[in-house]
Amino acid sequence: MAKKRRKGRKESVRKKVDNLYILMEKLARGEEIYPQNERLQAELEVDERTLRRYLDELHQKYAHIVVAEKKRTERGGRRVTVHRVVDRKRDVAEVFRFFLESGEDLSWLLQLVHENDPSLLRDFSKDAEESLERVLENDREVFRFVDSPFENLDDNRLKRIFSTLRNAVKNREYRTVLYRYDTPETLTDVKCLKLLHMNRNWYLAVETTEGRVRILRLAFIQEIRYSKKSNYQGKVLEKYASFFKNIQNAMTLDAPFRTARLLASPRVARYFREGMKPFFPSQKFVKEREDGGVEFTIDYTQPMEVLPFIKQWQPDVRILEPKELREALRDDLQAALENCQ
């Protein structure tokens, strides 16, 4: 008798596993599933209660990709809880619809998305679509996004490289990268750590076989090749958590930070006063002097991380310390003057 019960439990578990697999296949194909679907109940040989339990388990386990929402069915017109896989474009449209209907002033954001990826706004209902068109039309002459946060990847080669690297980063893969900045180089068996978007460009952060981080500009990557090595462990990324959290631009190194103390002249002090948007994540207001000048600090890992910025503000931003950074700026400016002769 006990043997029969064990056999029955095994068959029940096997049936549940098979049914969950079938449901996952249907969801992956884009089907919308609800427990009141009698045809699906018959296909799986379960009742409504069991099917609801299956769907709840899938939703709890895969909440990041399986959406549960109230919806009217075609048959009967009653509202039921429908489960489906997240649709990036469709769900972004839902977010925009919410803000439109709640009256939030997000016209600048809508205009930005419309200019860069209008396909995200195609799945509105008729009323929401008309509201959106009015917003876009009214503000068409208000906003002009000179520096788009979305890099232009019209070049098919760059698109292929970006797609390949996105998968490589996601799957923690080793790759061999053919790179050309000044001279061609082959970076063999590097760990693809992270894709970074900075200063209107895409970069790839890798760990080399020597164990150091390199930031590679996507535009200078010539080719991506497979590596014979298998995937690297997740603890590699943990090692660089602080680096990615504090990175400021493509010149940030995986090295200890130093602090530059700077002085903005009264002529440009308004841009560096307390409460103004900082130019660097590490930038901090120190004090305002009696003459109207403003002292502030920026952390950096190497001079090239901050010198281009300081040069943009010459002669109105002085380096108070450290001495080495001040001398590096002086040498660069002297070389620039000599080039003008």
Strands 174-180 and 79-85, by their bridges, are unpaired
Q: What is the pLDDT along the chain (341 residues), one digit of tens a residue?
A: 554 455 455 557 778 888 888 888 888 777 888 888 888 888 888 999 999 998 888 877 776 677 787 776 655 567 788 888 766 555 555 555 555 555 555 555 556 555 555 655 555 555 555 655 665 566 565 555 555 555 555 567 888 888 899 889 989 999 999 999 889 999 999 999 999 888 778 899 999 999 999 999 998 999 999 998 989 998 999 999 899 989 999 899 999 999 999 999 999 999 999 989 899 999 999 999 999 999 999 999 999 999 999 999 999 999 999 999 999 999 999 998 888 87
Q: What angle do CA 79, 81, 87 make, to 5 degrees?
A: 115
* Phi and psi, residue 70, nearest 5°: -80, 135
Rounded (10°) angle between helices 48-61 and 2-28: 60
- Radius of gyration from C-alpha coordinates of the chain: 28
User: What are the residue ranges spanned by the domains of the chain?
Assistant: 15-85, 88-138, 156-246, 258-339
CATH of 156-246, one of 3.40.50.10470, 2.60.120.200, 2.30.30.100, 3.40.50.1100: 2.30.30.100
> Cα dist. 257→74, 99, 100, 196 in Å?
61, 41, 44, 20
Fold of the 15-85 domain: Arc Repressor Mutant, subunit A (1.10.10)
Helices (H), 139-239: 156-170, 235-239
